Structure 1
Amino acid sequence: MATVTLSASEFQERVGEALDRALSQPVLITKHGRPRNVVLSYDEYERLRARDRLAVRAEELTDEDIAALEASEMARGYEHLNAELKAK
């Protein structure tokens, strides 16, 4: 998916066109030649939000978290990967 790039002043002059374009491709808005904002369609925004994940550092895991990880197994159909969970 190609990205359309507009300066902030171009965006202000052509906001309607930029919003229409954002329905099919991201619109990158620059200020002083540097990327500043991106306009996306709502559908694309929701698709990206659905992919959000929470990352934590290993040292932040509780004993319960670690026990749950140690007891975990691969989903049905991927049982052959359980060996990957075993300590070497």
Structure 2
Amino acid sequence: MTDISVSATEFQTRAGLYIEQSGKSPVFITKHRRPARVLIDIEEYERLKARDTRRAYAVEDLPGEWVEALKSADYGKADPKLDSLMK
């Protein structure tokens, strides 16, 4: 089955239909003829989410080996022009 594209207004009018159809293929919801959202099946969402291994860390939460790697890294010679940006 091919992907479905529908305006936000049409989606609001027939949400039940498009929720049902999103179980078979993604439903692209547009606003002003531009893609705005994608409605996908929950199983597909969970599958995609499981593949996302990105994580943000606060400085105090960095793993110890990362802290040591950052401390011992050679960042090369600093450009003196950058000092003027720090003032």
Which TM-score band applies after superposition, normalised by the shorter structure? Answer: 0.5 to 0.7
Q: Secondary structure at the match of 2:53?
A: coil
Question: Where does residue 8 of structure 1 map in the other structure?
Answer: 8
Structure-2 residue corresponding to 1:71: none
SS at match of 2:6: strand
Please name the residue that 1:63 is paired with.
Answer: 68
Q: Mark the structure with the bigger radius of gyration.
A: 2
Distance in 2 between the 1:15 and 1:55 partners?
A: 33
SS at structure 2 position matched to 1:23: coil
Aligned pairs for 1:1-88 (under 5 A) are 2-54=2-54, 61-63=66-68
Aligned residues: 62
Shift of 1:2: 3.0
Q: Which amino acid in the other structure matches residue 20 of structure 1?
A: E
Q: List per-residue Cα deviations over 1:12-58 (Å, max 9, x = no partner).
A: 111111001000111000000111111111101100000001167xx
Report sequence identity in percent: 40
Q: Could you list the runs of 5+ residues in structure 1 that have no partner in the other structure?
A: 66-88
TM-score after normalising by structure 1: 0.61
Amino acid at match of 1:15: A
Q: Secondary structure at the match of 2:20?
A: helix
The runs of at least 4 aligned residues of structure 1 exceeding 3 Å deviation read none
Contiguous gaps of at least 5 residues in structure 2: 57-61, 71-87
Q: Which amino acid aligns with 1:62?
A: V
TM-score w.r.t. the length of structure 2 is 0.61
